[in-house]
Structure 1
Amino acid sequence: MARTIWHCHLAVSLDGRIARPDGSVDWLADYPAEDFGFESFLAGVDAILMGRGTYDAVRRMGDWPYPGKPTLVLTSRPLDDPPEGVEAHAGDAAAIAAACEARGYRRVWIEGGGQVIRAMIAIGKLDVLEMAVIPIILGEGIPLFPPGTAELRLRLRHCEARAGGALHLVYERPG
């Protein structure tokens, strides 16, 4: 069986925020996800892993944007009327990662938020970090790497300037 690739693809402000304090990402309006290869990325993903805060934020945006993609939500609370293919999972990140690997998922998108990313780094399950770096300083908000995130060395695989002064960066874990 092929090894699972754990791939985090997201947008981040210059000061390292992935959302405003209320979870809003309105600051991304002028930076379409497709400018950063999102549609082709999503097509290559077998499953999505996200935290409850990210799930709730996505649900507030309207229709479920990932039909047909198995989605695991790390949460201790039940999900009210989840879309088809969306499952709540309580427990630690290692058990959930093992479940994804046992299901044969080749590429899992670690969508966020910061707590899920921190947990996956802690268990060695972040292989690719792909970021749209947006030229805005939010000043406060949800950090990409919350306090307590373990050290992780990455190497730059791709860097490209995009419209509006944004950057598209792809880092990977060596080895």
Structure 2
Amino acid sequence: MIGTVFIATSLDGFIAREDGGIDWLPGVGEVGTEDYGYHEFIDSIDAIVMGRYSYEMALSFGAWPYGEKPVVVLSSRTVAIGQDIARTVESINAPPHEVVQRLAGRGWRHLYIDGGKTIQGFLREDLIHRLIITTVPILLGTGIPLFGPLSREIHLQHLETRPFVNGLVQSHYEVRRHVAE
């Protein structure tokens, strides 16, 4: 199973404002803007695993942004799933390793892991294999961080970095599995 993160951060490492707002992201709500490789990435995955807050943010976009792609929402609380998306969205209350086992049992091989706490939990359990991080040239000062405390260092191998004309920079990393201590 491959777990990949595809996310944008501020230059100071935040994925959202403290209230969860992402209005600082370029192109939010704009038609015809650069997609930064997002559609190609979405086409490469089998399912999306996200936390409840990310799910609620996606619901606020109006039209469901994930089409027919399966979405698994991780939450210890009940998640309201509308009839219009119930065919492709489900909620699971389980630790990351158990989620991966269940989804692998369905034949899914590539998961998009989204949401700050969800990403952090999957990183702690060594279930993230790739990170695609787009850095937006803005300093928010405070907000929801992409990364949190870890019990050990996680070594990454830089694969590529791509600049965009609007100042965004997208870097691709692979998590190194066996690092000599």
Q: TM-score with structure 2 length normalisation?
A: 0.88
User: Higher mean Cα deviation, 16-25 or 141-150?
Assistant: 141-150
From 12, 15, 32, the equivalent of 1:18 is 15
The root-mean-square deviation of aligned C-alpha atoms, in Å, is: 1.6
- Equivalent-residue separation in structure 2 for 1:146 and 1:71 (angstroms): 24
The answer to whether the Cα contact below 8 Å between 1:161 and 1:168 also exists between their aligned partners in 2 is yes
Give matches, 1:7-156, under 5 Å.
7-30=4-27, 32=33, 34=35, 36-82=36-82, 83=85, 84-112=87-115, 114-148=116-150, 150-156=152-158
Q: Report the structure, 1 or 2, having the larger helix content.
A: 1
- Equivalent-residue separation in structure 2 for 1:33 and 1:58 (angstroms): 19
Q: 1:50-103 deviations in whole A, cap 9, x for unaligned?
A: 001111111111111112111111101222233231111112111111111111
Equivalent pairs: percent with the same residue? 34
SS at match of 2:118: helix
SS at match of 2:49: strand
Q: 1:152-175 deviations in whole A, cap 9, x for unaligned?
A: 111100111112221110000235
Q: TM-score with structure 1 length normalisation?
A: 0.91
Q: 1:112-144 deviations in whole A, cap 9, x for unaligned?
A: 1x2111110111110000011111000111100
For structure 1, the 5+ residue unaligned runs are: none
The answer to whether the Cα contact below 8 Å between 1:118 and 1:150 also exists between their aligned partners in 2 is no
SS at match of 1:50: strand
- Equivalent-residue separation in structure 2 for 1:23 and 1:58 (angstroms): 12
- Equivalent-residue separation in structure 1 for 2:80 and 2:44 (angstroms): 28
